[in-house]
Structure 1
């Protein structure tokens, strides 16, 4: 009797647990369905606006247009494999555009971020006056649309119209900002003018998040303003510097507006000056497969450079 009673008690204690588990499962599924419902708009937009175009571009890069006979018949699309990539990389104009963008980024990105960091530190200093005015003034170039800024700079550097060239001429200097030797510095200057304020604002926001007690303690220990900036502020805004560098690398790889607008006043600027410009030129020639191939190569280059920079920063951080 005792054994039977104990079995009944055990069964009675297990039954509610099973019923509780059966009740919990529908609630868990309801929560999962609710989460999926909220995520569905983002996933649909992500697939439609981001993943699908990328996949279609990669797909198009694996084909080419083929004409039979004398080329009088309609062209057909045939599978080309990776031959389009070999053709693009063998093109000296496209290789030159990749190298040109790489060289512009190597010089322009550090200069721009150095200026952005300096301006952010000046705005963060206690003795700086009219902070709101200068913050707006530094950010204003980014607030202008990129095309408008490029048009404005095209007038400032156009031969016969440039006040900069006129001032240099009065000083006895022959300066042509649209010559082949000056095209890269001119475009780099346009990028620096347009994006320094944007990066400055990111770094300045990171500086505002630093506790004021750290600077006050360093001041009490006799640390100068330069020492506080070098030993406290700059190390603490390192994540913001990494973020702005990655953004700048990706943005430089996508360089298009400035050379496209500058081409109107500098006919010597080729239509393959940058990779995006070269891809657009291929689209204009109805060679969509070549444009897709060049776009994929540029995307891979931007990914390798940005990911390589992140890994380098992580290794240095681990070493420190």
Structure 2
């Protein structure tokens, strides 16, 4: 074989190695098509709508960032945003602490009937969200239901779930009741991945139950805690079902702009302001993504340490 033949054979082999294999796209292609149709396309269309505005004369006109300027100076938007931030700061830590406590209790060998309690705690998450809110709405009702009966028994309006100062607490109670079991399952699954030799080493060192919890269990579920926190942050900013369903029971307290999602929904379907509603949605999407990324980044740094 001559030198030229060797070079040609090597070049042919290189071209064959460099030839792209498209078989993998046959598997991921359908997902990419669905992803583009149900996620990227609506997102792009919402972004497109946010740069236009319906005029009384002349129809729809391009207005650039005017809708964004209007949103950033809209007191109703910022009131709704502040309300969900308050909800996030108070409700999410309470829910995650309860879920972690339930997971630790189930993971311990001291709890009898652990399987029964695991199903019992997770069961509210299996209840459809609308059904759960309606159920709690009838419990909260001050003219009917359990709250009304209890107040009648006491002879005073001691419990007022639909009062302005208690409405966020009432909604937070519903959300916590629904999602404690879901987060508990995340933590419980993470606890089950901890190697048993770590417990054996802690036992040999004389570590008690509380020392084992704070030195082994909680540090090893930090990744699961970050994931649960991110999901909870996203869920808090997406708060819609609970206040929207409860609104007919407390119309003077739960306004059409009670949360940013409710504000965007009512702007679009009740006020026919599709462009401004799209702007609100885009702003909330960006804020949610940034905060979720910061939580993930902080959680990753904590794990590295």
TM-score by length of structure 2 reads 0.93
- 2:169 counterpart of 1:185: yes
Q: CA deviation at 1:119?
A: 0.3
Q: Does 1:314 align with 2:303?
A: no
Q: Distance in 1 between matches of 2:147 and 2:82?
A: 28
Q: 1:76 to 1:211 in 2, by over 3 A?
A: same
Q: In structure 1, what is the equivalent of residue 240 of structure 2?
A: 256
256, 260, 268: which is aligned to 1:271? 256
1:64 aligned to which of 33, 53, 73: 53
Which of 174, 179, 204 is the aligned partner of 1:195? Answer: 179
Q: 1:81 aligns with which of 51, 58, 64?
A: 64
**Aligned counterparts of 2:265 and 2:160: Cα–Cα separation in 1:** 27
For the aligned residue pairs, the C-alpha RMSD in angstroms reads 1.8
Q: Which string of whole-angstrom CA distances, capped at 9 and with x for unpartnered residues, describes residues 102-140 of structure 1?
A: 000000000000000000000100122212111111111
Equivalent pair of 1:157/1:178 in contact (CA under 8 Å): yes
Structure 2 gap segments, 5+ residues each: none
Alignment partners' CA distance in 1, 2:54 and 2:13:
64
Q: 1:293 to 1:23 in 2, by over 3 A?
A: closer
TM (norm. structure 1) is 0.89
- Which of 198, 202, 220 is residue 204 of structure 2 equivalent to? 220
CA displacement 1:271-318 (0-9 Å, x = unmatched): 110000011110121110111011111111111211222233334445
Partner of 1:100: 83
CA distance, structure 2, for counterparts of residue 315 and residue 130 of structure 1: 38
Q: Is the 8 A contact 1:254 1:276 kept in 2?
A: yes
Residue aligning to 1:115: 98
**Which range moves more in the overlay, 207-216 or 55-64?**
207-216
Residue number in structure 1 paired with 2:13: 20
Task: Map Cα deviations across residues 131-156 of structure 1 (whole Å, 9 max, x no partner).
Answer: 21111111111111111111111011
Query: How many residue pairs get matched?
Result: 302
Q: 1:59–1:15: structure 2 CA closer, same or farther, 3 Å change rule? A: closer
